Structure 1
């Protein structure tokens, strides 16, 4: 087996292949070498509270002990045999001139940061946050008194702005959407979360830069609509990713805004699977669904791919889940906050929105289809069980802080 990509999806596929009894050789191909975790890059690693070694999923010797070869190189081409050729081999060409062959391949190629589509949006001095090297470069510029402009108020932008502010950096957070994250957590909670930036002393602009220039190491971000320019020593662009599909597409695998996969992560070629941010699910009617870019979804995908490659049944899927951290609070979400037709919120002791539940009408009342919470792990665990079990939900009890969350399951 060859796994191209060392993120969580690729690593999980390797881990599961061994754990499920596969005894053949496995190769991991990634320019960064030994796989490591990405979410801490915009949080603990950026803030300096953990080091590069603590990012690793496992100790480096884990791979050698389990017969897994790690190639610190890029895959430049993949040749797949004819779909009907039972004896054909998958071949992967490496950037160092090497060539690997295998019976099957997993594309875990991830995504690349989306470029800012304005004049100056392609400046080499603009930073992104996708890899350990990106985080190290960004952290080097986050010295007390430095001016940081963060373009994009989503999860990564918010996390990086929060971490930089704690380091004594003067931060401006820029996003035309006010508030960001509504599809992920609902408007009520999104409003509370976004307001935390200004409350912490971060300048927040509900705008989009029209042009970026740099002179003598200082960036100037220009805006329309009467908004004055923003000067920054460091500019971080975090406006989403574009899935890395070129390798798979060139190999003849079907792509449509992501490598298309079924629920077992199979692609259009019988020797190829795909996991993680590079993928897009094919729905039951054949149309492409929405891509998932969260940590747990990559882990589930790696597990499903390994099981399918070995002819085994993967664990039952549960509602999707994500988390984030900013300004000392922990945010979690589960399910789909864009589905359903009703939102119910629950306030904390200070009157702030602590949790939001998205409900869908059912014959016998309502069902929870999504939930999000601030420092509300119990709420999310309960909501996840309700989603997975299809438990009937009483909107009044969901909103009542006097009703313990666990009682909602009864």
Structure 2
């Protein structure tokens, strides 16, 4: 922090844009502002002591030692200096004074704004679906949302150690694959019948389950965890109805919740996240919300959605900058995400509903296939698994009504559909 900022309020002088958050959405917002010719002051407030960085590699390349911490930021610390961005690391935004249009940082320090962008992301959900889980705060029980979390977890990835992962979503299954690559014994526990059941349905979830089992992951599907206990002699014990499972360390991967507290206290409209329009403006037109916390109106889908993925964070960061710059752009793209687990690489695009029909093109046992999801015969989403350079075309197929038999027949040229 600069000496002037530490001395007290920075409410005087030309007003500009203040961004709260230290992730991809925040980083790409300030970058796009400067690249777009924005000359007013920019302040980025990040609670972590890290230059804003990418989080998806934390569960994959970083844990596997393929991507060091210094390669995680999309823009270096030097870039923020050169771009004249006031980057305040290790600083917590305590509140937003909407009437005075300033962000309170504690004590006499505040930052005034013309436009405010909230990009505070999500935090790990601690405990079960309906109540806190006993033992979640014991030594050796971890979550994975930050680089600091990943550093602690990585220290335990030692061959022969026992890791229990509670939860079978994206982070849980990616960490399971990374841990097995390090020789760690892994057990995944979930009350769901298959991994990724809510996000992707039974067809793909069953394929992921088989992939993990074949790579030595012990899977306890349909199993609830009642708590975690610490035995001084045997280590951690994850408690289930069928008995305790011993662990040297435990990862809680049971979902995330938006960091909406600042927005709530500021009186902004809240739904599943901060409610914003197609330009990412909140119920207060001077305040935007982006990334994981934004429940944004998507013009391609005709409704509001909240998306917690890498692609969305980058694109919403750029869109927020466009809105501040006065450009007539909107949230008009379909959700996209990817994962890598063992030998499986996949890309997904669209908006799958829980009751949509899954149609598989190709042989899933071969490891190379495409899944389409249909609602009343119309394609709502598609996913390519170990088949590359087709996702852009799959994106164009969303919204089309193509017969199931045509989609399944691999003799039909995909690019002609």
Instruction: Name the CA shift for 1:359/1:378 in 2 (closer, same or farther; >3 Å).
Output: farther
Give the secondary-structure state (helix, strand or coil) at the position aligned to 2:205.
helix
Q: Please, which moves more after superposition, 116-125 or 56-65?
A: 116-125
Aligned residues: 391
The Cα shift of 1:279 comes to 1.9
Normalising by structure 2, we get a TM-score of 0.88
The Cα shift of 1:58 comes to 1.5
* Mapped partners of 1:297, 1:330: distance in 2: 19
The one of 373, 395, 407 equivalent to 1:358 is 373
Alignment match, 2:260: 245
The one of 183, 186, 194 equivalent to 2:209 is 194
Q: Does 1:261 align with 2:276?
A: yes
Q: Please, which moves more after superposition, 156-165 or 8-17?
A: 8-17
* Mapped partners of 1:349, 1:183: distance in 2: 20
The Cα shift of 1:140 comes to 0.5
Gaps of 5+ in 1: 82-88
Gaps of 5+ in 2: 1-16
Alignment match, 2:293: 278
Would the aligned equivalents of 1:189 and 1:373 in 2 still touch at CA under 8 Å?
no
Give the secondary-structure state (helix, strand or coil) at the position aligned to 2:74.
coil
Alignment match, 1:65: 82
* Mapped partners of 2:391, 2:198: distance in 1: 17
Give the secondary-structure state (helix, strand or coil) at the position aligned to 1:209.
coil
The one of 141, 147, 170 equivalent to 2:156 is 141
The one of 176, 181, 200 equivalent to 2:191 is 176
Instruction: Name the CA shift for 1:367/1:148 in 2 (closer, same or farther; >3 Å).
Output: same
Q: Please, which moves more after superposition, 36-45 or 257-266?
A: 257-266
Alignment match, 2:404: 395
* Mapped partners of 1:37, 1:352: distance in 2: 28
* Mapped partners of 2:25, 2:269: distance in 1: 19
Alignment match, 1:348: 363
For residues 158-181 of structure 1, give each alpha carbon's deviation from its aligned partner in whole angstroms, at most 9, with x where no partner exists. Answer: 000100001010111111112122
CA RMSD of aligned residues (A): 2.2
The Cα shift of 1:341 comes to 4.5
The Cα shift of 1:395 comes to 2.2
Alignment match, 1:85: none
Give the secondary-structure state (helix, strand or coil) at the position aligned to 2:79.
helix
* Mapped partners of 2:310, 2:295: distance in 1: 15
Q: Does 1:45 align with 2:54?
A: no
Q: Please, which moves more after superposition, 94-103 or 62-71?
A: 94-103
The one of 36, 51, 75 equivalent to 1:20 is 36
List structure 1 segments (4+ residues) > 6 angstroms apart after TM superposition.
Answer: none
Would the aligned equivalents of 1:80 and 1:271 in 2 still touch at CA under 8 Å?
no
Would the aligned equivalents of 2:143 and 2:252 in 1 still touch at CA under 8 Å?
yes
Give the secondary-structure state (helix, strand or coil) at the position aligned to 1:229.
strand
Would the aligned equivalents of 2:297 and 2:331 in 1 still touch at CA under 8 Å?
no
Alignment match, 2:7: none
The one of 99, 120, 124 equivalent to 2:110 is 99
